[in-house]
Structure 1
Amino acid sequence: EQMQGELKRMQRETLSLELSLQRYTGEDLNSVQFGDLHELEQKLENAVNKVRERKGKMLHDENENLYHLNQLKENQVALDHQAALDQHQQMTMVPKASEDRRRVLESFPFSGKSNLVVFFLRQPCLHSLIHIVYSLLSPTFKISVFNSPTM
């Protein structure tokens, strides 16, 4: 008996929900009273406003995401451009550096004649300094350093 009562209650509730759904979809409005129509209209307007609000928020969020993505891409393009400029500048500087080295070497009297450089020093401590300087200028130089006789 209690189960049958519960079943009837659920059937009535199901029928009521079906009628409400029909009203919300605009079906079978002929039997609806004016006050009920006004109430239905208010509910539908509230629902539409919520849908529009949610849609607006989603569009706003999507626009912000696209803006930030665009900013990231612009930054990456700027970084790539700067890297290309740096690489180009470095490539043009390498020949200049080797050209500068050639000019320095040509300024010495031994340039082009021999890879042997002989120094006579009064101070033996300069030996390693001269080695370093000339090995930087050209690793093929052979350097001989002799202590200079006292003058």
Structure 2
Amino acid sequence: MDIQIEPQFLNTALHGDEVEFFVFPQIEKERLDGEIIRVLWRAKMEFVGTVDKRKGSAISFIVPDDKRMYTDIFISPAESGRVRNNWKVLVRIIKWDDPKKNPEGRIVKVLGKKGDNDAEMESIVLEKGFQMKFPPKVEKEAEL
């Protein structure tokens, strides 16, 4: 049976995460409602997205391409100095303790300007969990 979790009760859970939850007492309802208590295991830590630099501020966010990621990812001023507005990046969540705040991320890879063919192609590949590069041993074997 499915348990319905309303957005305000997600805590910091994301699609596919393994979680501990609480089921609210039911009064003759068709569905079960609940709340996420804590995330036990993250299904996904890296997201592809677009840099959104706030004008006149050192604050930047990454707007994820994955619509199941329901919040933007905060990037520190030091991290944000590496990229420009509207660039595509791969970002890793490094901290997210408070559901009332955005997760904090670190840029893993700069992909290029949004709309650029190479950046968009690599974005799709990385968002689906594939890697663009293989270990040298695999590359050498593929040449044979």
Indicate the TM-score class for this superposition, using the shorter chain for normalisation: under 0.3
Q: What TM-score do you get using the length of structure 1 for normalisation?
A: 0.20
Q: What TM-score do you get using the length of structure 2 for normalisation?
A: 0.21
* Higher gyration radius (CA): 1
Structure possessing the higher relative contact order (Cα contacts under 8 Å, 6 or more residues apart): 2
Which of the pair is proportionally richer in helix? 1
Which of the pair is proportionally richer in strand? 2
